[in-house]
């Protein structure tokens, strides 16, 4: 049985009522172009990107003032709050919530524009680090 449009990432985004919808779409475009091997689906009520069985990037809309991109290692790894970060972030975009979970927050189109130079490399580095393990 085919999924209804609202059950796909494109349908979800089309129906999304969020002040930072344009920024979220720009993030989707960056992630898809940076890591075309990731599979996009809906998880945690948002577009999410999987490497095999593990989701490693997920959009987050819990804050109406921003669009967030969550960097994580799926659910199979033990998370340590306060532990050393999983990888080095030379961009300054990530705020670490634990050793294997970080968030990049974008409040407007200028934030996306400034990050667009370094975000593709950060996405690729994250995916590579998750693959290595």
Q: What is the pLDDT of residue 23?
A: 97
pLDDT at 132: 83
SS (H, E, C) the chain: CCCCHHHCHHHHHHHCCCCCHHHHHHHHHHHHHHCCCCEEEEECCEEEEEECCEEEEEEECCCCCCEEEEECCCCCCCCCCCCCCCCCCCCCCCEEEECCEEEEEECCHHHHHHHCCCHHHHHHHHHHHHHHC
pTM metric for this prediction:
0.93
CA distance 41 to 22: 19
**CATH number listed for the domain at residues 5-132:** 3.90.1150
**pLDDT for residue 2:** 53
C-alpha to C-alpha distance for 25 and 67, rounded to whole angstroms: 9
Q: Which residues does the chain have with pLDDT short of 50?
A: 1
Domain ranges (residues) in the chain:
5-132
| Residue 133 pLDDT | 72
pLDDT for residue 1 = 45
For 68-78, the pLDDT digits (tens) are 999 999 877 88
**pLDDT value of position 130:** 92
């Amino acid at each position: 049985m085919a999924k209804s449009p609202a059950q796909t990432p494109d349908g979800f985004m089309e129906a999304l009522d969020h002040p930072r919808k344009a920024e979220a779409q720009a993030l989707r475009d960056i992630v898809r172009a940076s890591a075309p091997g990731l599979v996009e689906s809906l998880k945690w009520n948002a577009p999410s990107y999987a490497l095999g069985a593990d989701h490693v990037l997920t959009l987050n809309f819990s804050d109406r003032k921003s669009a967030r991109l969550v960097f994580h290692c799926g659910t199979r790894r033990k998370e340590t709050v306060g532990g050393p970060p999983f990888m080095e972030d030379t961009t300054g975009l990530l705020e670490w919530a634990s050793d294997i979970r970080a968030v990049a927050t974008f409040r407007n189109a200028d934030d996306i524009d400034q990050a667009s130079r370094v975000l593709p490399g950060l996405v690729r580095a994250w995916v590579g680090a998750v693959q290595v393990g």
